[in-house]
Amino acid sequence: MEVRFDLKYYENAKYAWPKCDDKRDSVRGNYMYYPQSDQPAKKAPKPGEEDWSLVAEKSGQLVSQRSVVTDLIYTVRTRPHTSARNPTGINTLWGDGHVSFSTSKKAFEPKLWDPGDDAASARNPGDNPQKFRTIVSLLRP
């Protein structure tokens, strides 16, 4: 499956950015909404799930050290902030309303991301709920 998040698909002479992709009716929007509380998701978590938290269902459950919205977390190639193909961080809106650039190293461990083949191996966090939840649970301000 071709991943069409690149800016080149959203620019042309007919439509100005952020136009629709010529193959979709949507406007480009690459943010992930996953509001987290500080309540542990599981009483006896499996290895790698220790930092997972329950989804915040009410604004009163949001906390300053857990993310609400992040940059796109989908594949290695579509990570928005890299240097020499290495991740540098993810813009994050936290539960108390502040925004910062999270550089939590654990969230970028290679085992949590695809091997650079987009969604071909189905190992990308955008199509793998366990990897996605682990990544957002590891982000810190």
CA distance 128 to 119: 10
Q: Is the pLDDT of residue 101 over 90?
A: yes
In a domain? residue 58: yes
Task: Name the band, by pLDDT with cuts 50, 70 and 90, for residue 22.
Answer: low
CB contact set of 110 (below 8 Å; sequence gap of 6+)? none
Counting every residue written for the chain, the total comes to 141
C-alpha dihedral over 107, 44, 126, 99, to 10 degrees?
A: -50
| Residues whose CB is less than 8 angstroms from the CB of residue 125 and which lie 6 or more positions away in sequence, other chains included | 73, 74, 75, 112, 113, 114, 131, 132, 135
pLDDT at 59 over 60: yes
Give the C-alpha separation, 79 to 116, whole Å: 11
Whether residue 20 lies inside any domain: the answer is no
What are the tokens at 93?
A: 């809106």
Is residue 10 domain-resident?
no
Q: What confidence tier does 141 reach under pLDDT thresholds 50, 70, 90?
A: very high
In a domain, 5, yes or no: no
Q: How many CA atoms lie within 13 A of 45 on its CB side?
A: 15
Q: Which helix (H) or strand (E) holds 138?
A: helix 129-138
The total number of structural domains in the chain stands at 1
Question: Is 62 contained in some domain?
Answer: yes
pLDDT at 69 over 70: yes
Mean of the pLDDT values across residues 103-130? 93
Q: Rounded to two decimals, what is the model's pTM?
A: 0.83
Interstrand relation of 67-71 and 31-33 (parallel, antiparallel or unpaired): antiparallel
Range of the domain at 101: 29-138
Q: What is the rounded CA–CA span in Å between residue 129 and residue 134?
A: 8
Residue 121 maps to a domain? yes
| Residue 25, pLDDT score | 58
Q: What is the per-residue pLDDT for 85?
A: 82
22 part of a folded domain: no
What pLDDT, in 10s, does the model give residues 26-47? 555 678 999 999 999 999 999 9
